[in-house]
Amino acid sequence: MNLRLDSVLRDTLNASALRAALNAVQANALAPLYALPPAGRRRLAGAPIQIDGNTLDPDIQLLLRLDNLLPHTTKTDAATARAHFRQLCKLIPGTPPELQRVTDLTVRGTAGQLGARLYTPRPLPPTTPSPTITGTSPTAAQPATEPTAAGTATPPLGADGRPAPTTAGGPATAASDPATAPGADGRPAPTTAAGSSTAAAGPAGRSTPAAAGPGSGARAGRGSRDGIGRGLLVFFHGGGWVVGDLDTHDAVCRSIAAEAGIRVLSVDYRLAPEAPAPTAAEDAIAAFTWAVDHADDLGVDPNLIAVGGDSAGGNLAAVVAQQTVRRDLPHPALQVLLYPAVDLVARRPSRDLFSEGFILTEEDIIWYRDMYTPDPTLRPDPIVSPLRAEDLTGLPPTYLTTAGFDPLRDEGREYAQALAAAGNPLTHIHHSTLPHGHTNLLTLPGTTRQAHTHLTNHLRSALS
């Protein structure tokens, strides 16, 4: 057995083989490696990595060990960085799930049309319970950054052993806050923003927008003419506002649509440095309002349209949630912020702890920031740093994730605390063993897969 593992190690960590896999565009190039028994993968990964009381997931550690042998490029120009990111994204998606259809279309931006892609899932089977994961939910009584004796935060748990969604007043229960209490299946029940109204059911099971006007959080009329949930996630890809596109996050959007049973609209917003801030933010706002205006054409309920994204895309989703409320526009039913970048000004301890070796580096962060905001005076503005908004009241319910091995961990936790303190319904899940960027790693088993399933179950409950 030891000889076999040693042979696998030599073969797997062969840089030329990995380069060939990249060139061949093999989405399942890593599948044989992760088909090995867990003990074998741990042996290949090497000695456990422990930082700040957390232990890196061994499957992630193995991927990082392989990544160190791939050809890396110094970020000197956007075109090269984009090409490199596209290549890397071809190795990690696994086999995309089958959908009912995928449609390329255009949506409204601030200066013309933007490319977009609509993912329509097949009708879902009955709900299955989501897996148990390690997470934290910040509350007024217990912030996410409050350590226990073991060095990690202890979440309030639901009856099924999973973290329960919380509000600023503490863990939600059926008695204290029915809007955010777990449902009978243990998954979070749909939440509404304060002051939301109820829509009346319209023809064919569709909802009639409530008389309260734009931004109402109505939740009636979820029936669908095609047997698919009437919710929609408007998704903004990550990549530091500089790299990434519809294709780099195609597998993520397909998987969300298939597993959550909702439609996903991925938006190809304009990138820096050609279009510096706040262009991407304004494009995101315009695309979301376009989706609300064209809800019937998209086959969705205008009151069940969420925004979400990973990293820089999470930043854009947070900005959309804030700005649509402040500008009195229709606002999202839910904001999904996956390890978001929310402050382009301050530097927190996690930036030093995880500055190298965990997918997103300190060099990356500075380069992306400078490309997106060449004018430093714009960085404190909430249009690019949503954590710095003076007023966070009245925002939509939030699903926010942070990762234990992420340089953006601390600012994400701080934003979660600020949202809760302002009275916004919040579900904050802290994945203590995972790094920044884990949402894209769909080919990995174990904890990474569990994190994705928790996300899609939450979306399915809230929007489908």
Catalytic residues, by residue number, are: 311, 406, 436
- Which tokens hold the place of 420? 């809760």
**DSSP element (H, E) containing 61:** helix 58-67
Q: Do the bridges between strand 50-51 and strand 113-120 make them parallel or antiparallel, or are there none, so unpaired?
A: unpaired
Distance CA 278, CA 284 (A): 10
Sign of the C-alpha dihedral computed for residues 296, 300, 304 and 306 taken in this order? negative
B/e letters for 30-69, b = 16+ CB within 10 Å, e = fewer, are beebbebeeebbbbbbeeebeeeebebbbbbbbbbebeee
Q: How many CA atoms lie within 13 A of 102 on its CB side?
A: 17
Q: How many CA atoms lie within 13 A of 371 on its CB side?
A: 25
Q: Read out DSSP for 386-400? A: GGG-S--TTPPPEEE
Residue type, position 236, single letter:
F
- Which tokens hold the place of 249? 């996050």
Q: Where are the beta strands (DSSP E) in 247-363?
A: 263-267, 305-310, 335-338
**DSSP element (H, E) containing 83:** helix 78-89
What does each C-alpha distance from 187 to 163, 174, 222, 448 come to in angstroms?
9, 13, 18, 19
- Which tokens hold the place of 205? 């099971």
381 and 337 in contact (C-beta within 8 Å)?
no
Q: Read out DSSP for 93-157? A: --SPPP-SEEEEEEEE-SSSEEEEEEEEPPPP-S--PPPP-------SSS-TT---TTSSPPPPB
Q: Where are the beta strands (DSSP E) in 192-349?
A: 200-201, 207-208, 232-236, 263-267, 305-310, 335-338
